[in-house]
Amino acid sequence: MTRAEAAARRQPPCLVLTLPSHLLQEVLGFLGAVDVASAASTCSAFRQASRSEHLWRGLLAAKLSTQAEIILPRTLPDER
């Protein structure tokens, strides 16, 4: 077996870790706050994705429901 064949056969331990960070943030957005915090403690990719202010603002907005428009800004200073 050549090196190229061996490299082609190798897969990362978890295919979800190959997702770009913004997609991983979208996946984490379907979880609750406790589950996001738990996922963040499992590996560096989840930890990095879970540090998104956009993700946590969405979780907080879901928790606040109708009051979210009053309390939360539309965008954060470092968002585009």
Please spell the DSSP secondary structure of 2-69, one letter per residue: -HHHHHHH---S-GGGGS-HHHHHHHHTTS-HHHHHHHHTT-HHHHHHHT-HHHHHHHHHHHHGGGHH
What is the model's pLDDT at position 11?
Answer: 61
| Integer Cα distance of 41 and 37 in angstroms | 7
16 in helix, strand or coil? Answer: helix
What is the model's pLDDT at position 7?
Answer: 65
What is the model's pLDDT at position 47?
Answer: 93
| Integer Cα distance of 45 and 67 in angstroms | 32
What is the model's pLDDT at position 37?
Answer: 94
pLDDT of 57 above 60: yes
